[in-house]
Amino acid sequence: MPRRPFGEAPLRDGLRQGAGLAALVLLCTLAAAAATLALPAALGRAFDAVLSGEDATGPVVECGLLLGAAALFTALDALATAALGARTTARLRTRTLRHVLAAGPRAAERLGPGDLVARLVGNAAQAGAAPATAVALAAGALLPAGALVALVLTDWTTAVAFAVGMPLLALLLRLFVRASGDSSERYLAAQGLIAGRLVEAVRGARTVAAAGTRDREAARILGPLPELRRQGLRMWRVQGRSTAQAATLLPLLQLSVLAVAGLRVAAGELSVGGLFAAWRYAVLATGIGAFVGQLNALVRARRAADRLQEVLDLPTPHHGPSQLPAGTGRLEFRGAVVRHAGRTVLDVPVLRLPGGSVTAVVGRSGSGKSSLAALAGRLEDPSAGSVLLDGVPLPELTHTALRTAVTQAFARPELVGATVHDTIALGVRDPGEARVVQAAREACAHGFVRRLPAGYATPCPSAPLSGGERQRVGLARAFTRPGRLLILDDALSGLDSATAAQVGEVLFHPSPSHARLVVAHRPETAARADRVVWLEDGRVRAVGPHAELWRDPAYREVFGGGE
């Protein structure tokens, strides 16, 4: 991927959406710089007035006003900078999070949930500082430039002495930016790797505890720590070396200016106040310390912005303008192919599933069942071919039309929402208490939800649910808004036979208004469906009633050969 212009993402968005605050930062920085630039000349006049025995009240008052103005504008600049950074960070996080959610499950699969969290939290905060830093850097560059101009106006001879060392100073800055950028990029990559491994370990905490591999897992998580330390030290070394080089060069430049100015005073061509002003302007013109710090911050922000841009570059599904006609959930696959990493995992030339009926999908592990369910619900687009719902290709539907018509439940549902009630009602605007309770009853979840510490108001993180209970909450969420196509991707696997039979009374109840697609692992589940799609090695081996397919020993073997 080609490298983007310096800090493009946060600068463009931050400066456009926070134009008022950015302008305030710029004005305050310029005002503080102007007051700082005027101060040496005022001090020089005060010195000359005192040495010549003249009244120095005016110059002294002028110096006080300039000092006060510089302090005031510096304080305002700090407040505006903090506000601009916070606002930009919030917008970056919101935009990136929305894109992650729009990209769907592939986003977490490609980058990993831990790395995504690191980018959304840490990298967004670093990138969010870019607009204010860039404005401060641009305005801050005017201070040494203005000091150089003021030095020329004060005494051009001393300005020539100062200009001799400027090319070397520019070279130091260029080398610093290059080295700092590379180390920052490697540091952030190691940071994201640690975050990703940590999330994996937290999710698999029970497995780690059962295997007794706590120390080994901790070592794996912290494996990138030496690289993180190495790149962190490298950043400090780069900054320290640049600072040391500048600390050697800058005093030499200042001394050369002071020496030339002293000779000019001795020759009677420059006053003592002029010497003081020339020296102070030389100090301001060589004020590279703050400049290097701002450059370093902007380099880190650019690298962080690049990592956010990698997330924003993830493809998202596009939706068309179409609405669904009247229908009952008729599903059609036309040459639908799914490829992952160059391998074909599903190839369905032609498959038509009538609406208003129940279709079970069976097959061994890895046969493509979940891929077929993902295509049907457009959680994934086919690499080739198309999928149609009631005659309309899924990509042509609006997002609202698609998600209103299609509902899905999964084997390991996430409890998304503040409370159990919110989880069940997810995606439905104001469903009402009765509807939520009814859906929970249909999913055989009402009994255990009612016994939770706060019932339906129990916060999700505090709800002690087993795997089967989580599945029933996921089923209740699906039953709250069944739509015209209900897809259950292995969503009954965690239920005992008795509970699965009870849920089946709702799931397989004749309902000509909508279709159901069920990934099944139990023969009794497949037996209750109107038809079965039998997948093998990513292809449709047969379609027909369960009783008819059961005559084939290979079909019975899919269920372990049991009756």
Summarize pLDDT for 273-304 with one digit per residue, the tens.
Answer: 777 777 677 777 766 555 666 666 777 788 78
Summarize pLDDT for 432-475 with one digit per residue, the tens.
Answer: 889 999 999 999 999 999 999 899 999 888 888 888 889 999 99
3-state secondary structure of 315: coil
Summarize pLDDT for 48-101 with one digit per residue, the tens.
Answer: 887 777 887 888 888 889 888 888 988 888 888 888 888 888 888 888 888 888
For 443, phi then psi, to 5°, come to: -90, 10
**pLDDT at site 563:** 41
Are 143 and 284 within 8 A, CB to CB? Answer: yes
Spatial separation of the C-alpha atoms in residues 507 and 499, rounded to whole Å: 12
Are 353 and 486 within 8 A, CB to CB? Answer: no
Residue 170 scores a pLDDT above 70: no
Spatial separation of the C-alpha atoms in residues 324 and 391, rounded to whole Å: 8
Of 551, 542, 563, which Cα lies nearest the Cα of 361? 542
Higher pLDDT, 382 or 235: 382
**pLDDT at site 24:** 84
Residues of the chain above pLDDT 90, percent: 27
Output the average pLDDT for the chain.
Answer: 81
Alpha-carbon separation of residue 509 from 54, 97, 302, 351, 529 (angstroms): 104, 39, 57, 24, 10
Summarize pLDDT for 387-408 with one digit per residue, the tens.
Answer: 999 999 999 999 999 989 999 9
Of 158, 169, 166, which Cα lies nearest the Cα of 256? 158
3-state secondary structure of 492: coil
**pLDDT at site 418:** 85
Summarize pLDDT for 318-366 with one digit per residue, the tens.
Answer: 899 999 999 999 999 999 999 987 899 999 999 999 999 999 999 999 8
Residue 183 scores a pLDDT above 50: yes
Q: State the Cα angle at 205 between 199 and 211, rounded to 5°.
A: 130
Mean pLDDT of 514-528: 91
Show the 3-state SS of 333-394.
EEEEEEEECCEEEEEEEEEEECCCCEEEEECCCCCCHHHHHHHHCCCCCCCEEEEEECCEEH
- Identity at 310, one-letter amino acid code: E
Show the 3-state SS of 78-120.
HHHHHHHHHHHHHHHHHHHHHHHHHHCHHHHHHHCHHHHHHHH
Residue 556 scores a pLDDT above 50: yes
Spatial separation of the C-alpha atoms in residues 35 and 24, rounded to whole Å: 16
The CATH fold assigned to 9-312 is: ABC transporter transmembrane region fold (1.20.1560)
Of 142, 150, 160, 149, which Cα lies nearest the Cα of 277? 150
pLDDT-wise least confident of 116-130, 172-186, 522-536: 172-186
Higher pLDDT, 186 or 449: 449
Residues of the chain with CATH 1.20.1560.10: 9-312
Instruction: Name the band, by pLDDT with cuts 50, 70 and 90, for residue 139.
Output: low
Burial grade of 273 (CB within 10 A; 0-12, 13-18, 19 or more): buried
Summarize pLDDT for 10-29 with one digit per residue, the tens.
Answer: 556 666 777 778 788 888 88
Q: What are the tokens at 342?
A: 């160059």
Q: What are the tokens at 150?
A: 């003021």
Residue 1 scores a pLDDT above 60: no
Spatial separation of the C-alpha atoms in residues 252 and 256, rounded to whole Å: 6
Instruction: Name the band, by pLDDT with cuts 50, 70 and 90, for residue 218.
Output: confident
Angle between helices 8-17 and 57-103 (to 10 degrees): 110
Largest Cα–Cα separation, the chain? 118
Residue 252 scores a pLDDT above 70: no
**pLDDT at site 335:** 95
Spatial separation of the C-alpha atoms in residues 363 and 233, rounded to whole Å: 54
**pLDDT at site 363:** 93
CB within 8 Å of 85: residues ≥ 6 apart: 128, 129, 131, 132
Spatial separation of the C-alpha atoms in residues 534 and 539, rounded to whole Å: 8
Summarize pLDDT for 153-168 with one digit per residue, the tens.
Answer: 777 777 666 666 566 5
Residues of the chain with CATH 3.40.50.300: 331-558
Asked whether the CA dihedral 507, 509, 513, 515 is positive or negative, the reply is: positive
Spatial separation of the C-alpha atoms in residues 356 and 432, rounded to whole Å: 27
Domain spanning 331-558 has what CATH number? 3.40.50.300
For the chain, what is the radius of gyration of the CA atoms? 34
Instruction: Name the band, by pLDDT with cuts 50, 70 and 90, for residue 6.
Output: very low
Q: Return the top range by mean pLDDT from 218-222, 261-265, 398-402.
A: 398-402
The DSSP symbol for 271 reads -
Beta bridge partners of 489: 410
Are 492 and 500 within 8 A, CB to CB? Answer: yes
Q: Return the top range by mean pLDDT from 5-19, 114-128, 241-255, 459-473.
A: 459-473
